Amino acid sequence: MANGLVVLISGRGSNLQAILESPLGEQVVAVISDHPDAAGLAIARTHNKPVAVCCANTPTEVEEQLLQTLAQYQPALIALAGFMRILSPRFLAACCAPLVNIHPSLLPAFRGLNTHRRVLAAGEREHGCSIHWVTAELDGGAVIACEKLTVSNDDDEESLANRVLAIEHRLYPRILVQLLNNKKEQ
């Protein structure tokens, strides 16, 4: 039976750390990276979680490795946490569990990269982060939850990134627990 959460990362892993340090941490069954030197892998190992690296030469081969690795763990849910790869429709159709992502903007505004810089350039007064289902469209799946902050006149790109990240670290574990509990009740 499908069980627990697999987290996919590519780098720093601060959201992974927030997940592992929350009550949700015990439900994490594995951490997978598409980069062998992702700092988040050390965080996973510190928490005694199984880790895997899927970094074949081509995107298609990486997706094949991911499918095989995920199938070993049969998670109920897969959380992308700074996983910097656009997944193909073929991968999504074949994947053994639904995928969720966290994005540092109030979707559908500011999909893609450099969100804090673009929010400041646009003179937005509201910013935040969103949790959404993963589809083949970049940051385009249905939004599950979001949390807002007010952009202050003193904010620069770094301060905004830090403030949004602090919200992410609270929101992502809380929403993932709810999604996993909903799946158990189904």
Whether the CB-CB separation of 133 and 99 falls below 8 Å is answered with yes
Q: In whole angstroms, how close is the CB of 68 to ligand GRF at the nearest point?
A: 24
Residue partners of 114: CB distance under 8 A and separation at least 6: none
d(CA 63, CA 33): 12
Using CA atoms, how far apart are residues 59 and 22, in angstroms rounded to an integer?
Answer: 32
Backbone angles phi, psi at 99, to 5 degrees: -115, 140
Q: Pick the closer one to ligand GRF by CB: 104 or 173.
A: 104
Binding residues for ligand GRF (CB under 6 A): 11-15, 81-82, 102-104, 129, 165, 168
The least distance separating ligand GRF from the CB of residue 14, rounded to whole angstroms, comes to: 3
Which single residue brings its beta carbon nearest to ligand GRF? Answer: 82
C-beta of 186: minimal distance to ligand GRF in Å? 27
Q: How many other C-beta atoms can be found within 10 angstroms of the C-beta atom of residue 158?
A: 9
State the minimum distance, in angstroms, from the CB of residue 115 to ligand GRF.
8
Q: Please answer whether residues 85 and 62 qualify as being in contact, where contact means their C-beta atoms are separated by less than 8 angstroms.
A: yes
- With H, G, I as helix, E, B as strand and everything else as coil, classify residue 139: coil
Active site residue 127: no
| Structure token pair of residue 102 | 């966290």
- Name which of 43 and 76 has its Cβ closer to ligand GRF: 43
Say which of 35, 47, 103, 132 is annotated catalytic. Answer: 103
Buried/exposed code over 66-91 (b: 16+ C-beta within 10 A; e: otherwise) = beebbeebebbbbbbbbbebebeeeb
Residue number, 74 or 138, with CB nearest to ligand GRF: 138
Instruction: Indicate which residues carry an active-site annotation.
Output: 103
